[in-house]
Structure 1
Amino acid sequence: MSSLRAKIQDVFNEPACEQNRRKDAKARKEGCSKPLTPGAAAGGCAFDGAKIVLQPITDVAHLIHGPLACEGNSWDNRGAASSGPTLWRTSFTTDLTELDVVLGQGERKLFKAIREIKEAYGPPAIFVYPTCVTALIGDDIEAVCKRAAEKFGLPVVPVNAPGFFGSKNLGNKLAGEALLERVIGTVEPDDAGPHDINILGEFNLAGEFWLVKPLLDRLGVRVRACIPGDAHYLDIACAHRARAAMMVCSTALINLARKMEQRWDIPFFEGSFYGITDTSEALRQISQLLVKKGADPEILGRTEALIEEEEAIAWKKLTAYRPRLEGKRVLLNTGGVKSWSVVHALMEIGIEIVGTSVKKSTVEDKERVKQFLKDDNHMFEQMAPRELYAILSEHKADIMLSGGRTQFIALKAKTPWLDINQERQHPYAGYDGMVELVRQIDLAIHNPIWRQVREPAPWDCQPAVREELPRMKSEIATLHVVQEFAGTTAGDLSEC
């Protein structure tokens, strides 16, 4: 337990994080996120964060040691895609019950579950995740995993990140520690080359990394390991032989990138594949790092030629959308790397940014936003749903880009909305991804449904109609008199 405390404290003292270095000792112990409220679903726990980082490893069996509900909490919560194995889509849990807790059957049940997975599926490795219940009752997960690995002859990796440890972000980093201590460096590849790289913090959401990998293939750059998107266990085990690394989401795996640089001299940089300019810059930095590590400098020329060709194609495709989108106003309610990368991407085609959330962004992310927007008046840490609704209902933005949680605010305000978070159905990375993002924004804004829903319903009484009501009532009364007069006889008239 003392070693686990030391590990968590080491994560909190991350020296590669500029924001962390600015904190005092007390603030650093509190971590990156606000403390969770007991019993509240506040964006995920440490277990959820660890599962998010590791589950996209596609050929591994992910076994949850705890009650059934814990597996339902995080399974299938992201749209990561696989080009091969589908074992990661199978849910494994020990389904611990109250009787198991009372009788102390947790460790025995875990060992039995590992054996059954080994016999039925034969995976290259099994990852075991303790939960709040099994951690509190004191099940020795590491001892069980060690015994099972010796007995069954395959890696059984304990991921010590029970939910009560802290926030989802802490779970992300603890998952990185598990890979560093028990997976990376355990296998020596026989095909290491001068153009091997790692991509860290890329989840291959909606298969978007598949839009970037062909660009690297054309440069002769091999992705030794993409962690965790569309990853295989063997690739991650050999990741220590890469020559350079790119960090896509620093808040998740910055500790992994830093320690891999310290142990195996793998330099890294933080970049983005969102937007034309940022994609080009990422390709340049990858090539430059490889040259510094001994690759042939001719790759720099090939990179510039590829960038020139792909940018010309992308801008030609975007030309058709510029007249329809230039001057349109976007409200961006996301965070992290997308707080600046998507901002830059949209501004490239003339879209105006009304505001962008920097809730999960680092200091570096915020500085980039200021650089693009020229000030911080368009940045907000967190905006209440009522404030979001006010902006949209007053037509201060033409569309909102956000996650699924806030889509109903936009729909209530009768404003177009587009999902750019993990549940999205379309890939937005790379040059083709940028074109797809613009195409989806154009489709959303110009969808005729918005004109229809904004029209008054037939049963609504508009102000103009209300003003005419007295005159209409008078005319109706007069009409009734005329109708009654028309129905009288000549004799009746003579008597009048």
Structure 2
Amino acid sequence: MSSLRAKIQDVFNEPACEQNRGKVAKARKKGCSKPLTPGAAAGGCAFDGAKIVLQPITDVAHLVHGPLACEGNSWDNRGAASSGPTLWRTSFTTDLTELDVVMGQGERKLFKAIREIKEAYGPPAIFVYSTCVTALIGDDIEAVCKRAAAKFGLAVVPVNAPGFVGSKNLGNKLAGEALLEHVIGTLEPDDAGPYDINILGEFNLSGEFWLVKPLLDRLGIRVRACIPGDARYVDIAGAHRARAAMMVCSTALINLARKMEERWDIPFFEGSFYGITDTSDALRNIAELLVKQGADPELLGRTEALIVEEEAIAWKKLAAYRPRLEGKRVLLNTGGVKSWSVVHALMEIGIEIVGTSIKKSTVEDEERIKKILKDDNHIFEQMAARELYAMLSEHKADILLSGGRTQFIALKAKTPWLDINQERQHPYAGYDGMVELVRQIDLAIQNPIWCQVREPAPWDCQPAVRQELPRTKSETATLHVVQEFAGTTAGDFGEC
């Protein structure tokens, strides 16, 4: 626990974070995110954050050392995609019970599980995650992993991030520390070149990175390691030979980017692949960093030519949607990097942002939002379900972009909704991704179903009053016969 305490303290004193440097010592110890409320997950614990960062490494086995519920709660918690191996989709856990805890069988059961995975699957590495239970009873997963690695001849990586130590954001950084300590730099690639880069904090949600990688391929830029999206263990182990790095989400792996620059002289910048402008800026920054690191300066010219070509194609496609979407009002109920990157992307085509959530966003994210929107009135920390419903039912927004948890609020308010969180089914990164995002928004808003569901229900409509026509003598006589036969009066039948 002493080594874990030191790692946590090191993360809280992250020197690459401008906001962190400006804090007093007491505030710095609290980290970037809000402290957890006892008994509440608060958007994810440290174990959940570590699993999010490491699980998309597709060819390794991810073994959770703890009760079964820990693995069940965290398995496949992001819609990352793989272009090859599927081992990461297999769930492994030691499934500790109360008897194992009482009898002190945790470490023995962990070693046995590592051996079984080695024999059955033969992965290049096994990542072992500690949990609240195993950390509290004192299981030394680092010692077990070290012994197992020596005996079985494969990498066994301890991930010491039990849930009780802090928030999901802290778990992200502790996962980065595990990669630095046990994975990166352990293998030497034999094909390192001047155009190699790392992409940090890219999760390849719904295959988003596959829309960006072809652009880099056309420039002759090779992604040495994308951490963690669609990653392979060998690629990450040799990531220290890249010449430059792009950090997509600083809240997750800024400590990893900073330490790789210090140890292996890999300069990095922070960027986004959401939106036309941000994608172009990211390509330019990558090319500039590589040239500074020794690549041929002609890369800059090829990059500008590619940007001009791709932007022209994208804007031509978006022109068809602008008349239909310009002036439409969007409400974002998300957080993190999406709270500012998606905002900037939508404003490029004339969409109005009526509000964006900063829940789970860092101070840096909030500052970016303020610069983009130039109005604090459109920023809210967290909106209760009742307030969100009231805002949508009053037609203050034309569409809600959020995660699956709030989709039913939008549906109840009869407002279009689009999934923008990690569960989404469509990729939105890069030039093609921006066109797809706008297309999905247009499809959602223009869907004819909304005209139908907003109409009054048939049972809420008052029936039309029929004008009573004078009856003939024969009709009146027939009516009296029917009424007498049924034993009723005319009042019981009402008006016909």
TM-score, with length taken from structure 2 = 0.93
**The 10-residue stretch of structure 1 (432-441 or 452-461) with the greater mean CA deviation from structure 2:** 452-461
Deviation at 1:405, TM superposition (A): 1.4
**For residues 274 and 428 of structure 1, what CA distance do their matches in structure 2 show?**
7
2:330 and 2:401 in contact (8 A); partners too: yes
Deviation at 1:365, TM superposition (A): 2.7
Deviation at 1:487, TM superposition (A): 18
Where 1:377 maps in the other structure, the secondary structure is helix
1:68 and 1:93 in contact (8 A); partners too: yes
Change beyond 3 A, Cα 1:474–1:335: farther
Change beyond 3 A, Cα 1:35–1:484: same
Where 2:143 maps in the other structure, the secondary structure is helix
2:68 and 2:94 in contact (8 A); partners too: yes
Greater than 3 Å deviation, 4+ residue runs:
461-496
2:389 and 2:409 in contact (8 A); partners too: yes
Deviation at 1:370, TM superposition (A): 2.5
**For residues 3 and 240 of structure 2, what CA distance do their matches in structure 1 show?**
24
**For residues 459 and 447 of structure 1, what CA distance do their matches in structure 2 show?**
24
State the partner residue of 1:104. 104
**The 10-residue stretch of structure 1 (43-52 or 486-495) with the greater mean CA deviation from structure 2:** 486-495
**For residues 53 and 473 of structure 1, what CA distance do their matches in structure 2 show?**
87
Where 1:495 maps in the other structure, the secondary structure is coil
User: Structure 1, residues 145-198: CA drift from partner, whole Å, max 9, x if none?
Assistant: 000000000010000001111111111100000000110000111111001000
**For residues 495 and 333 of structure 1, what CA distance do their matches in structure 2 show?**
53
**For residues 123 and 490 of structure 2, what CA distance do their matches in structure 1 show?**
103
1:347 and 1:353 in contact (8 A); partners too: yes
User: Structure 1, residues 403-440: CA drift from partner, whole Å, max 9, x if none?
Assistant: 11111111111100000110000000000000000000
User: Structure 1, residues 176-221: CA drift from partner, whole Å, max 9, x if none?
Assistant: 0000011000011111100100000000000010000000000000
User: Structure 1, residues 222-261: CA drift from partner, whole Å, max 9, x if none?
Assistant: 0000000000000000011111110101001111011111
Where 2:447 maps in the other structure, the secondary structure is coil
Deviation at 1:41, TM superposition (A): 3.2
User: Structure 1, residues 324-367: CA drift from partner, whole Å, max 9, x if none?
Assistant: 11111100111222122111111111111111112233333333
**The 10-residue stretch of structure 1 (183-192 or 354-363) with the greater mean CA deviation from structure 2:** 354-363
Unaligned runs of 5+ in 1: none
**For residues 469 and 167 of structure 1, what CA distance do their matches in structure 2 show?**
75
**For residues 58 and 492 of structure 2, what CA distance do their matches in structure 1 show?**
95
Where 2:422 maps in the other structure, the secondary structure is coil
1:62 and 1:92 in contact (8 A); partners too: yes
Unaligned runs of 5+ in 2: none
User: Structure 1, residues 22-63: CA drift from partner, whole Å, max 9, x if none?
Assistant: 322112212222222232232111111100100000000000
**For residues 400 and 227 of structure 2, what CA distance do their matches in structure 1 show?**
30
State the partner residue of 1:161. 161
Deviation at 1:467, TM superposition (A): 17
**The 10-residue stretch of structure 1 (331-340 or 153-162) with the greater mean CA deviation from structure 2:** 331-340
Deviation at 1:475, TM superposition (A): 19
Where 1:470 maps in the other structure, the secondary structure is coil
Deviation at 1:471, TM superposition (A): 21
Change beyond 3 A, Cα 1:285–1:149: same
Change beyond 3 A, Cα 1:493–1:369: closer
**For residues 57 and 6 of structure 2, what CA distance do their matches in structure 1 show?**
27
Deviation at 1:374, TM superposition (A): 2.5
1:18 and 1:363 in contact (8 A); partners too: no
Where 1:201 maps in the other structure, the secondary structure is strand
2:211 and 2:433 in contact (8 A); partners too: yes
Superposition pairs for residues 59-458 of structure 1, below 5 Å?
59-458=59-458
Change beyond 3 A, Cα 1:194–1:489: closer
Deviation at 1:93, TM superposition (A): 0.6
Where 1:369 maps in the other structure, the secondary structure is helix
1:50 and 1:175 in contact (8 A); partners too: yes
Change beyond 3 A, Cα 1:146–1:493: closer
Deviation at 1:473, TM superposition (A): 24
1:19 and 1:362 in contact (8 A); partners too: no
**For residues 54 and 335 of structure 1, what CA distance do their matches in structure 2 show?**
21
**For residues 101 and 451 of structure 2, what CA distance do their matches in structure 1 show?**
58
**For residues 85 and 302 of structure 1, what CA distance do their matches in structure 2 show?**
34
Q: CA RMSD in A?
A: 4.8
Where 1:199 maps in the other structure, the secondary structure is strand
Where 1:107 maps in the other structure, the secondary structure is helix
2:33 and 2:362 in contact (8 A); partners too: no
2:32 and 2:362 in contact (8 A); partners too: no
Change beyond 3 A, Cα 1:114–1:323: same
**The 10-residue stretch of structure 1 (110-119 or 19-28) with the greater mean CA deviation from structure 2:** 19-28
